[in-house]
Amino acid sequence: MLLLIDHVTRYRYGHPVRGVVQSHRLTPSRFDGQQVVEWNVTVSGGTPGGAFRDGAGDWVQGWTIKGPVDEIEVRVQGKVSTTDLAGVLRGHRESTPPLAYLRQTPATSLTPELLDLATRATEADGSLALAHALALAVSQAVAYRPGSTNAKTTAAEALAQGEGVCQDHAQVLCTIARARGMPARYVSGYLLADAEGQAHEAAHAWAELHLEGLGWVGFDPANECCPDDRYVRLGSGLDAQEAAPIRGSARTVGEERLDVTVAVLATQQ
């Protein structure tokens, strides 16, 4: 499938900022399931800085914006050719060992309630079956409800309130998979449509679990499936903050407002 991406992130500041530094994970991953046809990232008033491919295989690009500015727009436009690999991350080059993803973070801290959810998933026949059982347990325990959580919501908080968004599903799955001894990581990217067939207004997220004999395999509890050719993978991390497509800091004392719009369309090859 050929997917067209148009992703706009707009920052507005109550007072002009003197400068902004950003780190982007906005370039699609290289693996057998996707190939970049065209890709362009622009930052209004921005100057590109250093760039590198990290141990997880993600391309990281730095940007600086000199002030004073009261609005910054980051725009991503491109075309990606995708293939359905049933969630398997085949052909992806990385150097970080899978065992590094057994570590929890403050956002994925294990609580008795999360441990109970992890142990309730039955192991039918090997690690793949267990991984599917864990993903199903998350989708049943945390209802998908847009706007019910925020960027700082932890896995424990999402489970306690019983509702959340794709970020919460991914972080809860990472937490309980690690509790069962499975390396797990949070993945950011794009999705053509959600479970109801509606276009997304923001980027999407899911989790990858490392399974013996298969390597990294994606699971999307929000849609109760493994990533297929509707998905575009950008980057990964231990949690949502580490895998965020855009991270940065601004030299300001005023309020920062954030607006994000994402359009993902399918077109002919």
pLDDT confidence band for 93 (50 / 70 / 90): very high
Pairwise CA distance, residues 223 & 203, whole Å: 14
Q: What is the pLDDT of residues 103-150, one digit of tens each?
A: 999 999 999 999 999 998 876 688 999 999 999 999 999 999 998 999
According to CATH, where is 3.10.620.30 located in the chain?
Answer: 85-237
When pLDDT is averaged across residues 206-219 and rounded to a whole number, the result is: 97
Q: Is the dihedral of CA 220, 109, 105, 133 positive or negative?
A: negative
Pairwise CA distance, residues 84 & 257, whole Å: 37
How does the average pLDDT of the chain come out, rounded?
Answer: 93
According to CATH, where is 2.60.40.2250 located in the chain?
Answer: 2-81+246-267
Residue whose tokens read 């050929």: 2
Pairwise CA distance, residues 50 & 67, whole Å: 20
Q: What is the pLDDT of residues 160-210, one digit of tens each?
A: 999 999 999 999 999 999 999 999 999 999 999 754 545 555 689 999 999
Of 208, 201, 200, whose CA–CA distance to 227 is shortest? Answer: 208
35 vs 123, residue with greater confidence: 35
User: Which percentage of the chain shows pLDDT scores above 90?
Assistant: 82
CATH entry 3.40.30.10 includes domain 2-81+246-267: no
Alpha carbons within 13 angstroms on the beta-carbon side of residue 31 total 27
Are 218 and 207 in contact by the 8 Å Cβ rule? The answer is: yes
Pairwise CA distance, residues 67 & 138, whole Å: 44
85-237: which CATH topology?
A: C8orf32 fold (3.10.620)
3-class DSSP state for residue 178?
helix
Of 89, 84, 59, 72, whose CA–CA distance to 17 is shortest? Answer: 72
pLDDT of residue 179: 97
Of 255, 257, 253, 251, whose CA–CA distance to 14 is shortest? Answer: 255
